[in-house]
Amino acid sequence: MQHMEHDTIAAIASGLSASGIGIIRVSGNAAFEIGDAVFRAASGKKVSEMESFKAAYGFIVADGKTVDEVLLLKMKAPHTYTREDIIEIDCHGGIVVTKAVLDTVLAAGARPAEPGEFTKRAFLNGRIDRTQAEAVSDIIAAKSSLALKNSVNQLRGDVKTKIASLRDTILSKTAFIEAALDDPEHYSLDGFPETLSEDTDKMIDEISRLIKSNDNGRIIKEGINTVILGRPNAGKSSLLNVILGEERAIVTDIAGTTRDTLEETVVLDGIVLKMIDTAGIRDTDNMIERIGVDRARAAAQEADLILYVVDATVGVTDEDTDILNMLKDKKCIILVNKTDVEEFDEGKIRAKLQSSSVPVIGISATKQTGIDELKKCITDMFFAGSLDFNDEIYITNIRQKNLLIEAKKSLEAVKDSLLAGMPEDFYSIDLMAAYTSLGLITGDNVEDDLADRIFSEFCMGK
């Protein structure tokens, strides 16, 4: 972003399409002046004379001609999204009229906002930190109610509060060390290493929990990478069609119909599943089918969850057990299909699998039975049976995770220095390194060029 930060900016904040209303957002020192230039209130009152957080009915006018009938909302700094003066114009929806209103505002002195510039100003003006800014982007991109709830929690400041608490503890310990080294007569370090060791252990534990939460956080944000696996003609494609609620995959009685992976995304009770249907795994001389089998095996290695489909009319074969043994470190659910044709005997299936830990569910893709049980099993497996966060913090951003890892390494270095009996000034170096890493999570001391890069990925008008 090459423009001056004190410019008054404007953009269409709603989707540019046929809709009920279109919203033009204007932010900056000249927002009210521009409002006076383009808006004619039915009451005759100017925008600059209106009370803050009041809406007025009137018309947008350019060159003495009415552009549109609108409502205008005035919001006075600092109690606004950007902490600047803002007006929002609600006009009739539609591409032509919304652009016409924006063009009128730009002609009156505003410049076009760049992608994410409103949120960038909120960040630079101290209304939100970087984790909250990233949460804004995640809210817009949320694919499920679960992802939305987690993003809203981050926007509320849950991550910011946790990081601030950790940094406050580090700063307090570092300040005490520096004071004791400068003024040993008034500040004693007797017993301090033991106290610092206990506090460092607590911080390492807290950071470790945040790092660990990234696995579920990524799943919440991006979805569960789910691969449907099994031998040919077990009913994998039929299962995919049932879950999707449409005939997406080709289904025939001919074994080996699916030759390549087929990817679809579906939301089941708030859980995003990134479904991958694969070719049936078997030894084959057909070169094309063999490529499909290789791709199926590769997809399975990258999966968060394997749905392994077994044909109830055939039972668990030696080939099935060989495949499942290769995937023993993966989360897996065994789905015994065609139970409408063959009676489902879980004990018999488990005896063949020689495992009591892997969930086994009888289903019928034809009759669409067993799907509710599958949904519950996935919820139990990934979210301990509940989609309620109970206000737990989940780290969904790989940048945040990597900085937490750096902070943890620095704190572990403090522990090493304590165990080695190193001088106190060694502790300060690593404590401040952890302090800096945590500060980068929330965006403290972020340079302008980095801020430009962060917010350039946001959508226009946000």
Candidates 348, 346, 343; CA nearest to 360 is 346
**Tokens read off for 442:** 């929330």
Could you give the CA distance from residue 320 to residue 335 in angstroms, rounded to a whole number? 12
Rg (the chain; Cα; Å) = 29
CATH of domain 143-218+395-445: 1.20.120.430
In this structure, what token pair is assigned to residue 282?
């078997």
Residue-level pLDDT at 2 = 47
Q: Which residues does 239 contact at the CB level (< 8 Å), separation at least 6?
A: 228, 307, 309, 335, 337, 363, 365
Q: Name the fold adopted by 221-383.
A: Rossmann fold (3.40.50)
Task: State the Cα–Cα distance between residues 130 and 330, nearest whole angstrom.
Answer: 34
Secondary structure (3-state) at 332: strand
What sign does the CA torsion over 376, 380, 382, 388 have? Answer: positive
Residue 442: its pLDDT value, please?
A: 87
Euclidean distance between CA atoms 3 and 289, whole angstroms: 56
Percentages of the chain per state (helix, strand, coil), in multiples of 5: 45, 20, 35
Q: Which residues of 211-247 are buried (b: 16+ CB within 10 A; e: fewer)?
A: bebbebbbbbbbbbbbbbbbbbbbbbbbbbbbbbeee
Q: What is the pLDDT along the chain (462 residues), one digit of tens a residue?
A: 445 567 999 999 987 777 889 999 999 999 999 999 999 999 999 999 999 999 999 999 999 999 999 999 999 999 999 999 999 999 998 899 999 999 999 999 999 999 889 988 998 888 888 888 887 877 777 776 667 777 777 777 788 899 999 999 998 888 888 888 877 777 787 888 899 999 999 999 999 999 988 877 777 777 888 888 888 777 777 888 887 765 554 444 434 444 445 677 877 767 788 888 776 565 555 565 566 666 777 777 788 888 888 888 888 888 778 777 777 778 889 888 888 888 877 777 777 776 667 888 888 888 888 888 888 888 888 766 554 545 567 787 888 899 999 999 999 999 999 998 888 778 889 999 999 999 998 887 555 555 565 566 566 666
> For residue range 194-251, what is the model confidence (pLDDT) as tens digits?
999 999 999 999 999 999 888 777 777 778 888 888 887 777 778 888 877 655 544 4
Residue 282 three-state SS: coil
In the chain, where are the structural domains located?
Answer: 9-129, 143-218+395-445, 221-383
Per DSSP, which regions of 216-282 are E strands? 224-230, 262-268, 271-277
pLDDT at 5: 63
- Given this model, what pLDDT does residue 83 score? 95
Angle between helices 158-182 and 192-222 (to 10 degrees): 160
What is the model's pLDDT at position 457?
59
Per the CB < 8 A criterion, the answer to whether 332 and 314 are in contact is no
Beta bridge partners of 65: 62
Calpha distance 292→403 (Å, rounded): 39
**224 phi, psi to nearest 5 deg:** -90, 115
Q: What is the pairing mode between strands 9-12 and 21-27?
A: antiparallel
Q: Which helix (H) or strand (E) holds 346?
A: helix 346-353
Measured CA to CA, the distance from residue 374 to residue 437 in angstroms comes to: 41
Q: What is the pLDDT of residue 347?
A: 78
Which residue, among 6, 5, 23, has the nearest Cα to 14 in the 3D structure?
23
What's this model's pTM, rounded to 2 decimal places? 0.66
| Residue 453: predicted pLDDT | 56
- Across the beta sheet with 224-230, the strand order is 262-268, 271-277, 224-230, 305-311, 331-337, 360-362
| Strand blocks (E) in 348-436 | 360-362
9-129: in CATH 3.40.30.10:
no
195 φ, ψ to 5°?
-65, -45
